[in-house]
Chain A
Amino acid sequence: METADVVIIGGGVIGTSIAYRLAANRKVMLIEKGEIGAQTSGACDKAIFLQSKKPGFPIKLAKASRMVYENLEEELGMNIEFQKNGGMIVIENESHLDFMKQFVKQQNKAGIHVKLVNQKEALAFQPCLSTTIAGATYSPEDAEVNPLLLTQAFAKAVKRKGVIIRRHTEVTDIVIENGKVVAVQTAKGKIATELVINAAGPFAPKIAEMVGIGLPIMPRRGVILISEKVKPMIHGNILCSQYIATKHLSHQTDDTSYGVGLSLGQTESGNLLIGGNREFKGYDKSVEPEVLSAIARHARRIAPSLDFIRIIRTMVGFRPFTNDGLPIISEAPHVKGFIIAAGHEGDGIALAPITGLLVASLVDRDLRYKEFLDQLKLDRFRAYNVSPN
């Protein structure tokens, strides 16, 4: 039987980031049921937004992660298209203006540089926007990264560090003896280990069930339209105030709007990524055409100059939703050797760098990130033993 000090389940941006931090002095195996970074981490936008995070702890966490990004390209030794181009939240109509003024005040208090700009200033920075918008907020601290390259960069770096990556390998069971993890059973053999990290994102509840834990994580489906390559026309990333409202206010999806909120960015190769929406549809990937139209309609209302750009593909991803908008980075309460690192919803790209460090700190039992880890424990959800599905 193969043995490992740690088995990480999930080869997305979270799992590979964790592997990178754990690989220094351990034998690490990373198990992925499909391809590296091909599910949630490969079907998302490219924004590292700070200004959109909730004040208080979520901003603190996002800032710590953003700090790691500063040197990440150098650390991983690969271009990940990290750009500090700032970000904008478009305020589509006057009715959102008060809410967004309040939002800016809050964010400034939380130490984020964000300011309200009028329509003219917004259009000067982003000429693609409609002359009917009420204004926007702008922050120079928002950045962007290519999520595909990010996950690949982590994966390549961990291979160099000796991590064994098993693709196309599904975990079928986790073997427990006397309340302790002793092995991971996969479709291709058993691995003896005393430590398992569940980094399976939206599929984390299925892995946790194998050790009798119900995780309060639900798959929330998001769709993004991908355009043909066009000349550079978007500076940094654009969200709309509806997106902020959808992210922070509503847990339920309004049936008629399909939970649509604009997220717009352009990759270095020239493709536009036009999102998006948030819907609870289980693990169903078949998106109704109405959803695509609703996203397109919303995008062209805010950016009419996109009208004649051709959409060549759509991508669908499941974001691992938790009801307080924060991930779970925690040891399991009743099982020794089982760590959960999932539930980042739409912040997985923004929070991947810090997540690796947090899990390493948890495994090493040092107190470097105690302040963070205390807020990300599983037992903050009272009914954690009841699966939401």
Chain B
Amino acid sequence: MIQNMLICRCEEVLLADIVASIENGAGTLKAIKMETRAGMGICQGRTCRMLLEQVMDFHTDINVQEANNLSYNNPVRPISLANLSRSGKDSEP
């Protein structure tokens, strides 16, 4: 079943979950993310962001450019707590 297609593999969110969220009124990627956890996993949406845009485009007439209100925050790649603690300018060696 296409509805069982995995969109966000990190958080195991199915296409059906995304569509249900849109049908419930979620009109942006951030709204979908907060409701379904799609994009909250270890890859931070690197895989599912494009897919989410496509689902949005297919199921609504919302402009995808406008609907993508996800923000990019540090760190840009996963980093261990130990390495993060050493990464600032004024940290101890």
A-B contact count (CB 8 A): 103
- Chain B CB within 8 A of A148 CB: yes
A37 and B34 in contact, given A228-B42, A289-B88 (Cβ under 8 angstroms): yes
Q: For the complex, would chain A's binding face be called helix, strand, loop or mixed by DSSP majority?
A: mixed
B31 touches A311 (CB 8 A): no
Residue of A nearest to B39 (CB): A313
- Chain B CB within 8 A of A180 CB: no
Q: Which of B69, B75, B89 has the most CB of A within 10 A?
A: B75
In the complex, chain B residues whose CB is within 8 Å of the CB of A168: 27-28
- Chain B CB within 8 A of A294 CB: yes
In the complex, chain A residues whose CB is within 8 Å of the CB of B87: 289, 292-293
In the complex, chain A residues whose CB is within 8 Å of the CB of B88: 288-294
A229 and B42 in contact, given A307-B81, A310-B79, A314-B73 (Cβ under 8 angstroms): yes
Interface stretch of the complex, out of A86-94, A295-303, A318-326, A373-381: A295-303
In the complex, chain B residues whose CB is within 8 Å of the CB of A307: 80-82
Interface range on chain A (Cβ under 8 Å from partner): 35 or more
B residues lining the A interface (CB < 8 Å): 11, 25, 27-28, 30-31, 34-35, 37, 40-42, 44, 69, 73-75, 78-82, 84-92
What would be 23 A-B contacts, judged by CB atoms less than 8 Å apart?
A35-B31, A35-B34, A36-B34, A42-B34, A167-B27, A168-B27, A289-B74, A289-B87, A289-B88, A290-B89, A290-B90, A292-B75, A293-B85, A297-B85, A297-B91, A300-B81, A308-B82, A309-B81, A310-B78, A311-B78, A312-B75, A313-B75, A314-B74
